[in-house]
Amino acid sequence: MIQLEDDQHGHGLTGRAPQLERRLPGHVVLVITALVGGLLVVGLTAAGSEVYEAVAEKDGLSGLDWPALELAIRWRTPLTDQLVTWFTNLGGPIGMTIIAAALTILMVWRWRSPTPLILMVIAVAGSLTFTHVGKAIVGRARPPLTDAIPPYEYAFSFPSGHTLNSTAIAGMVAYLVARRLTTRVGRAFCVIAAAIWAIAMGLSRVFLGHHWLTDVIFAWLIGLAWLALLITAHRIFLIVRDKRRTKAAATGAAAGVERPR
C-alpha cells in the first residue's frame, strides 16, 4: 500500500501540531486544522474572485494594469531585459517541468517516500488545470506586442501560467522540505525562499510585458488557495492516520494483557 508519509517525520512546517495533539483530543485537532485550512482557502479564493470581477468589469484593481506596465517600460535596459527573460524562462513549461521533476526525484530518493511525488503531481495537475480553464473562460488579450520584450507570447493572458505554476510548485517544495526540518530558522527560510521565487516570477511577467498585473495577482491568490487546500487535506490525512494507529496499538496492547497465559 502506498503511504503518504513515513512515521519519523511530518511536523516540521506545522511545529505546533504535535503540541496540540498532546494537549487536545484528536477530534478537536482535526476540527481546528480543517477550520484554519478552510478559512484560508475560502479567503484566498474570495480575493481571487474579486480580482476576476475587476478584470471582467474593467474597473477597480484592473486600473493598475497600465500604470504597472508603463513603470516596467521605464525601468527596462538591455541588460535587465536579458536577465529577466532568462529568469522568466525558468518558470515556463520546459524550465518549470525540469525543476519540479528534479526536485521531486531528489526528495523521493533522499527520503525513501512517495509523498513528494504524489503531492507534487496533484499540485501541478491542479495549477495547469486552473491555468487552462481560466484562459479559456476569460479570453483576455495580452499587453500590446509593441510594449513587450521578445520572444512574444500569443496565448490568452488571464491568469499567468508562469506565476500560478511557480507558486504551486515552490510552495509545495517549501512545505515538503520544511516538514523535515527541526529549526524555525530553517522552516522560515524555506517559506521565504518560495515566496521570493513566486513573487519574482510574477513580477518578471509584468516587467517583460507578457502579462497584466492583475493576471499575476490572480495567479498568486489561486495558487496559494490551491496550496492551502492540498496542505490542509494532507494534514487531516496524517492526523486521522496517526489516531487510527494509536487506537490500533492500544487495542492490541489491551488484547495482549487480557490474553490468558
Domain extent listing, the chain: 17-241
The C-alpha atoms of residue 175 and residue 85 are separated, in whole angstroms, by 28
What Å distances lie between residue 93 and 146, 165, 169, 207, CA to CA?
Answer: 24, 9, 12, 19
pLDDT of residue 52: 93
pLDDT of residue 1: 42
Under DSSP, is residue 77 helix (H, G, I), strand (E, B) or coil? coil
For the whole model, what pTM was predicted? 0.86
**131, HSE (Cβ side, Cα atoms, 13 Å):** 23
* Cα 182 to the center of its chain, rounded Å: 22
Single-letter amino acid code for the residue at 196: I
Per-residue pLDDT of the chain (261 residues; tens, 9 = 90+): 445 555 444 444 444 455 555 555 556 777 888 888 889 999 999 999 999 999 999 999 999 999 999 999 999 999 999 999 999 999 998 999 999 999 999 999 999 999 999 999 999 999 999 999 999 999 999 999 999 999 999 999 999 999 999 999 999 999 999 999 989 999 999 999 999 999 999 999 999 999 999 999 999 999 999 999 999 999 999 888 877 777 776 676 666 655 555
H-state helical runs in 208-258? 213-258
